[in-house]
Structure 1
Amino acid sequence: ALCESALQTPYDSLKLGMLSVLSTLSGTIAIKQYFSSAPGTAAAPAKSFDLVKLAQECCYHNNRGIAAHGVRILTNISSSCQDKDLLPLEQDAVFGLEALLVLCSQDDSPGAQATLKITLTCMVKLVKCRPHLSQSVVECLLTQLHSAQDTARILMCHCLAAIAMQLPVLADGILEDLMDLYKLIGQSATDKKQELLVSLATVIFVSSQKALSSEIKTVIKQQLENASNGWTAYRIARQASRMGNHDMARELYQSLLTQVASEHFYFWLNSLKEFSHAEQCLTGLQEDNYSSALSCIAEALKSYHKGIASLTAASTPLNPLSFQCGFVKLRIDLLQAFSQLICTCNSLKTSPPPAIATTIAMTSGNDLQRCGRISNQACMKHSMEEFRNLATRYADLYQSSFDADSATLRNVELQQQSCLLISHAIEALILDPESANFQEYSSNGTAHVESEYERRMMSVFNHVLEEVESLNRKYAPVSYLASNTCLCNAVIALLKVPLSFQRYFFQKLQSTSIKLALSPSPRNPTEPIAVQNNQQLALKVEGVVQHGSKPGLFRKIQSVCLNVSSVLQSKSGQDYKIPIDNMTNEMEQRVEPHNDYFSTQFLLNFVILGTHNITVESSVIDSNGIVWKTGPKTTIFVKSLEDPYSQQVRLQQQQGQPPSQQQQQRTAYSRF
């Protein structure tokens, strides 16, 4: 009915409103149900024809808003119904998008820019689901990039970078055109030109992620020296770090060290320079050259240790850089684990197992005897446990990063998967080949890959898994030489992929924090709260959720999980046989904030006399039910005292005096 009304109405404003509703609905799962027809019915194709006809008519409308909603509907149909042959719809969508691009890129008005954003978003979505259309879309963007307004150019560069991160569509010839445009833009120093320099440099980095030629580096640095400020140079260096061009990033960070106004900024830039140099050291790794690999890793670790010292100096109480420090420390420990694994494998060459190692393994029933001295010292088992421990720590870092963007979280997840991959390879090749489960670690494919870094890491994962599975099945039991070669090559393959420092490492777009208040609370934090051991403490926990300028940008808080636990620090008085349930307090409650405020209460028992340490820790649960360990963690002390009557009875018993009848009667009814 809505399609029929939109087709028949002569009023553009009414048609625009109905198209807005239809374009929103076309982006949901309802579009699939709309185009699916039950067997033996012809109503569904007729209805779908109305929607397609409406979108095809509107995508060439002279009203920009109507045309934008028309191409948006066609794009959503093409992306949602990929199992259908929709060639005419694809062509209409591409032609409509190109027409809107030409029209809106020459206009700086807010309405034109809003329409351009819809157009470019549709282009990215269409190319993602229909890769065969990428070349024509990219050529159209590059053609308009030379003649468009600066505001439109910035948006178009973002669109080109988004497309290039999904598909390798920017060839060397296109890169030359981008460099010519970069030289032309660098001649002006206006704010829009500075923003455009950053956007265009991002496209250049994406299109040449593997290595930047010396000519490109020279051009970028010359333009930055001629017409840019320090902030623009820092943003370009930051983009180079995100795209894995660490050599370029290191040079830019080095040039900015003397242009900052505080020592915290200096230490921050110096740490980034050292991290970039460390990753640059790993680009020279080569397969089957393990001594060189150890030297490169040692050089990288040296720079990383310098960088973490500068990063610690750059932190402040208001900006503790907790994610950055945690990520870098994990990277250092991962490199050390890789180095130790290569050393362990190399030691087998100098001290190989005896010739009768296989016979000993078969006789003893311990397959580890095939590897000789190394397995006896449990070095390989230690390496496997170390990589699993690193994977657990990466998972903890993931859970503590509630405000991180999806690309940063995916990067942390990839590091965790690399640790699990190596631990699985050690187990499958050496420790327990017979029970190795390859199905558990198999990749789900690269259909949802969002960046070149992820694509390369997934390619390495698949290659290593194939090698390990092939050795495990064809040459069981695997010889120590083949297994060690496979492990060392897997480590080198992982390190050869340039590490990507994602957005959250540099910039926090979403900021969420929780402040807790406990009552009762002592005046002095180190002073304990006095409670009698026959009473319960009612602990009230209040909290406020604090947001930054963009609350809920990536995820929203559905509820807050409060965990209260108590630990006995020091006993006082005699030890009594008390049930274990009464010795500790472990409670958890979930509360939903109202207007960013929440409160709840806990009843705690302190039967054992002495000082107890109470810890209240908060975590948040987002709208998808995922628990994030955001903190904070608050601690108070409670001193459990003996009630006066029990103390009097105990003293009388120690003196040998029986309690009076009146006191016994009081004991029976004192609690009622």
Structure 2
Amino acid sequence: MATTNAATRSNSFNEAFLSESYQDASTIITDLDKGLRSPNIGEQCEALVRFPKLFEKYPFPIVINSNFLKLAEFFRVGSNLFRLWVLRVCEQSEKHLEKITNVDEFVKRIFMVIHSNDPIARSLTLRILGSVACIIPEKQQVHHAIRRALDSHDTVEVEAAIYASAQFAEQSKTFAISMCSKVASMIESLQTPINMKLQLIPVLKYMYHDANTAALVKTLCINLLPKYPSENFICVTLQSLTELSCATLVDIPDQVNLLIDYLQDPRLNVRIHVLRSLQTMAEKGPHLWQINSVNNLISVAQTMRGNGQENSMMLKIILTLTKCPLIAGSKKEEGRILELCTVCFKTVNHKTSSLAIEILTSVVTYCYNEKISPPQSYLKEINTHHEQLIMSSLKDEDHIRELTMYIKCGVQLAEKNELFAMDFTKLVGKILTDEQQLSQKQSELICETLGALCSHFMKDKFQHVAKKTSNDSMDVDEVTLNPFYDLLPSLLKRLENLVCPKFNPNDSHIIEILAAVCLQSMMGVHITKDMHDVFKKVLGTVHNWSQYRIARSASRFGHPFIATKIYQKLSKDVSQERYHFYLSGLSQMSTAECILIYGYEFDELEVKFNEIEHDENQMNLIQRLEKSVALYWKALANLKAASSHIHSLSFQTEYVWLRASFLEALLSVVIARNTQYITPPPAIASTFAQNTRDPLQKFGHVTNQFRKCVKSLKVCEDSYSMLYKSAFDADPCSLEQLEIMQYMCALLEYSLENICFNTSQDQEN
């Protein structure tokens, strides 16, 4: 019965602590105090482990300072079990330690335990002092206590002192310099056990604050390598030397040569550890590698006949080095790297082949970025093996990661080389449209690749003409570079096959990507009847979320007709009112853009879809602007109705307001221009112009109308500028659109201002 009551109290405590109803920090702290004062050890421990969650939920200095002082006092008077839990709290709350204001009092309460006769208590004290080293890096009494603990005869206390030494050496230059000789003597001493030396050596990697100290540590570690040739000792020493060299930077060349020498070690674990250290050095300072070191590394890679892991790690190091001019810009290494990659292509290992193709792509891409001639042999090797590697990796679904790498390299090269982009696009389109079995992941990857390539081709114009250059053998004199025009029928057929005769919900993502590619490939032109029919089948099959994503793609790529159909349909199928208003607003904006583009009401547009380019009954410009402005104001009202205090939609509503205001300003300009044709100036216009000393008043009231339009455009320009400045976290495309609209307003405003505000007599006549 007692056990049941205890369990009930424990569960109620857990639920009370995690309950959302507790919004006051003082209430939670009171409950924790009750737990700490409880006579039950379990409840005391449970209260201790709750403190990290308290600090995460209420990271205020007053809360953290008071509770850490309380924990320090509990550490001083508690048992070793409680001290262990306080240590865990400090380790888990490391990012909140800087908020302790009474640091001296906190350290004083903890440091009292260092004088205990219990070595376990002293060990816990050293460890907790090490965990808070970031706030007490220069406490001399703590430094002295750590140095004294290193001479202890208790193994647990010495290990705790070693841990504290590492923490303080990382934070304090004074401690690192003063402890260097002590740690070195312990490592060289024959009385120090081997396992303790393995713990002491990592302390040396923090001795980089002083050049002389770093040189002394480097010499010590190098001298230790032949004295202790065991596997663990070699790995720990080389790792410490690597981290020390990365911190000092000046020792990177010597450390690289040392690591390359140890690649000849017959032990696999040592070689793997050396390769990891070389990867760290390549990432930290590739520009500090010497060319001889790179040559030696490539030589070792060519002669290495180890397992696949070693070969892959070696290729990753070379790949990292190709991202700097040391290899990518060097003609001397071109043949050796090509030879190494060619050997990798001849193996049946897709992992090494993918790294080899990535190395060649990295060098070629670097050359294009730096506007230097890429190695022709690299381009030829890529063309020879790239397609073959892709097709072979498609046969096994387990090679999806390597297939991703092949395609990623292809996309990178396509962005730099137009002819390669054409061939690669045709290859990807052929893979997707052929009747071959592709897995779900493979199909999604191929579709995403098409999307990336389509974005590349549609970046500037729809058709590009590639000019022959002397530094790229894959270019031709003149070739039309938009393969998506020829690929579009096959993509539409593939899209239709995915929904007819049977739709698989797992293909929704593929359908969304294919739909986006088709819409993007027709950006700037009207969609065809065949494309419209295919999309009609797709939209009648896929679920609502996929329809919404297709509608967003249609809006993005300038096809408001399809977007309007989807938004209107979805606005009637939502469960919440704010979603209805939001979709209705999107529908009205898309309808307004339809009217501006096609010149028809949306209902008439679907009937006359094939005749829109030749029909003479289209709306005139004023009618288009009037109807679109009215729809934009309705859309603005719907967006405001859809907003809430959680989702304010402030950017969206401001953007729609600016779009409607700009269209209104354009409507005013058109009306003023038409007024100039149908309403001549009155007879007294010349007299009025002389009296007001405004020569342009002789043209009548049209002058004032144009001047009002200038003011409206000025308001739009300023509003776009303010929205641009406030939308600092928007995506680059949105910011670019805002800049374009601001420039359009300024340009039109400047043009009208030259007409209706210019008083020069010459221009007046």
What TM-score, normalized to structure 2? Answer: 0.49
Q: Which residue, out of 719, 724, 728, partners 1:398?
A: 724
CA 1:281 to 1:57, structure 2 compared with 1: closer, same or farther past 3 Å? farther
**Does the aligned pair in 2 maintain the 1:170–1:207 contact within 8 Å?**
no
Structure 1 residues 166, 322: CA separation in 2 closer, same or farther (over 3 Å shift)? same
Asked if 1:343 is matched to 2:671, the reply is yes
| Aligned mates of 1:411, 1:189 — CA distance in 2 | 37
Q: Which AA in structure 1 matches 2:392?
A: L
Whether the 8 Å CA contact 1:312–1:325 is kept in 2: the answer is: yes
Map of 2:358 onto structure 1: 72
Deviations 1:24-70 (A, max 9, x none): 4545xx34x7555xxxxxxx421344344444554565333332232
State the shift of 1:141 in Å: 0.2
- Note the C-alpha offset of 1:202: 0.9
Offset from partner CA, 1:575-623 (integer Å, 9 cap, x none):
xxxxxxxxxxxxxxxxxxxxxxxxxxxxxxxxxxxxxxxxxxxxxxxxx
Structure 1 contact 368–431 (Cα < 8 Å) conserved: no
Q: Which residue of 1 aligns with 2:538?
A: 223
Q: Equivalences for 1:200-349 in 2 at 5 Å?
A: 200-209=514-523, 210-226=525-541, 228-284=542-598, 292-349=620-677
> Which residue number corresponds to residue 174 of structure 1?
487
Structure (1 or 2) with the greater strand fraction: 1
- The alignment status of 1:138 with 2:425, answered yes or no, reads yes
Query: Which residue identity does 1:345 align to in structure 2?
Result: R
Are 2:426 and 2:483, in contact at CA under 8 Å, matched by a contact in 1?
Answer: no
Report how far residue 318 of structure 1 moved: 1.5
Query: Residues 393 and 118 from structure 1, CA distance in 2 versus in 1: closer, same or farther, beyond 3 angstroms?
Result: farther
Equivalences for 1:563-642 in 2 at 5 Å? none
Give the alignment partner of residue 449 of structure 2, picking from 132, 151, 159.
159
Secondary structure, counterpart of 1:320 in structure 2: coil
Question: Does 1:411 pair with 2:737?
Answer: yes
Matched residue, 2:276: none
2:334, 2:700 → 1: CA distance? 71
| Change in 2 beyond 3 A, CA 1:152/1:410 | farther
Q: Does 1:186 align with 2:499?
A: yes
1:81 lines up with 2:394 in the alignment: no
Q: Distance in 1 between matches of 2:366 and 2:709?
A: 46
Supply the distance in 1 between the matched residues of 2:562 and 2:763 (Cα, whole angstroms). Answer: 43
Query: Which residue of 372, 384, 391 maps to 1:102?
Result: 391
Q: How far apart are residue 163 of structure 1 and its match?
A: 1.6
- Alignment-derived partner of residue 654 in structure 1: none
CA contact (8 A) 2:568 2:587 kept: yes
Once the 2 structures are TM-superposed, how far is the Cα of residue 433 of structure 1 from its aligned partner?
Answer: 11
* Separation in 2, partners of 1:300, 1:373: 30
Contact map agreement 2:322 2:328 (CA 8 A) in 1: no
| Counterpart Cα distance in 2 of 1:18 and 1:333 | 61
Counterpart amino acid of residue 411 in structure 1? Q
Task: State the Cα deviation string for residues 54-89 of structure 1 (Å, max 9, x = none).
Answer: 445545653333322322333333333234444443
Which residue in 2 is equivalent to 1:595?
none
Distance in structure 1 (CA, Å) of the matches to 2:681 and 2:405: 65
Q: CA deviation at 1:428?
A: 5.6
In the alignment, is the contact (CA less than 8 A) between 2:496 and 2:537 conserved in 1?
Answer: no
How many angstroms does 1:127 deviate by?
Answer: 1.6
CA contact under 8 A between 1:161 and 1:202: conserved in structure 2? Answer: yes
2:363 partner letter: I
Q: Is the 8 A contact 1:59 1:93 kept in 2?
A: no
The 1:215–1:318 alpha-carbon spacing in structure 2 relative to 1, beyond 3 Å, is: same
Q: Distance in 1 between matches of 2:403 and 2:753?
A: 53
Deviation at 1:97, TM superposition (A): 3.4
Q: Which amino acid aligns with 1:201?
A: A
Distance in 2 (alpha carbons) for counterparts of 1:70 and 1:368? 75
The residue type paired with residue 302 of structure 2 is: L
Q: Give the Å deviation of 1:15.
A: 3.2
How many angstroms does 1:420 deviate by?
2.8
In the TM superposition, residue 277 of structure 1 has moved relative to its aligned partner by 0.4
C-alpha spacing 1:353/1:114, structure 2 compared with 1 (3 Å): farther
d(CA) in 1 for partners of 2:484, 2:670: 37
Q: For each residue in 1:524-575, what CA deviation from the matched residue of structure 2 results, as whole angstroms up to 9, or x when unmatched?
A: xxxxxxxxxxxxxxxxxxxxxxxxxxxxxxxxxxxxxxxxxxxxxxxxxxxx
* TM-score normalised by structure 1 residue count: 0.56
RMSD over equivalenced CA pairs, Å: 3.8
Aligned length: 422
Partner of 2:190: none
Distance in 2 (CA, whole Å) between partners of 1:81 and 1:433 is: 56
> Which residue in the other structure is 1:14 paired with?
310
Three-state SS of the structure 2 residue aligned to 1:339 is helix
Deviation at 1:427, TM superposition (A): 4.5
Q: Distance in 2 between matches of 1:293 and 1:413?
A: 25
* Letter matched to residue 278 of structure 1: A
Query: What is the CA distance between 1:162 and its match in structure 2?
Result: 2.1
Percentage identity across aligned positions? 23
Question: Do the aligned partners of residues 299 and 61 (structure 1) sit closer, same or farther apart at CA in structure 2, a change above 3 Å counting?
Answer: farther
Structure 2: which amino acid aligns with 1:283? I
Taking a change above 3 Å as real, the CA distance of residues 200 and 14 of structure 1, as seen in their structure-2 partners, is same
Cα deviation for residue 269 of structure 1 reads 1.5
Is the partner of 1:325 in helix, strand or coil? helix
SS at match of 2:527: coil
Q: Is the alpha carbon distance of 1:201 and 1:51 closer, same or farther for their aligned partners in structure 2, counting shifts above 3 Å?
A: same
| 1:411–1:16 CA distance, 2 compared to 1 (3 A) | farther
Supply the distance in 1 between the matched residues of 2:518 and 2:623 (Cα, whole angstroms): 31
- The structure showing larger relative contact order (alpha-carbon pairs under 8 Å, at least 6 residues apart) is 1
Secondary structure at 2:333 match in 1: helix
Going from structure 1 to structure 2, the CA distance change for 1:351 and 1:134 (only over 3 Å counts) comes to: same
One-letter identity of the residue aligned with 1:159: T
Give 1:128 deviation, angstroms. 1.8
Query: What amino acid maps onto 2:488 in structure 1?
Result: L
Distance apart, 1:200 and its partner CA:
0.9
Q: Deviations over 1:223-265 (max 9, x none)?
A: 3324x21112121112111111110111122222332111122
| Larger proportion of helix | 2
- Asked if structure 1 preserves the Cα contact closer than 8 Å seen for 2:696 and 2:756, the reply is no
**In 1, Cα distance between equivalents of 2:554 and 2:679:** 44
CA distance in 2, matches of 1:267, 1:397: 23
- Could you list the per-position Cα deviations for residues 93-145 of structure 1 after superposition, in whole angstroms to 9, with x for gaps in the alignment? 34443234323444444xx3333333333222222211122221111001111
Query: Which residue of structure 2 lines up, in the alignment, with residue 120 of structure 1?
Result: 407
Contact 1:107 1:149 in 2 (8 A): no
CA distance in 2, matches of 1:323, 1:119: 40
Question: SS of 1:45's equivalent?
Answer: coil
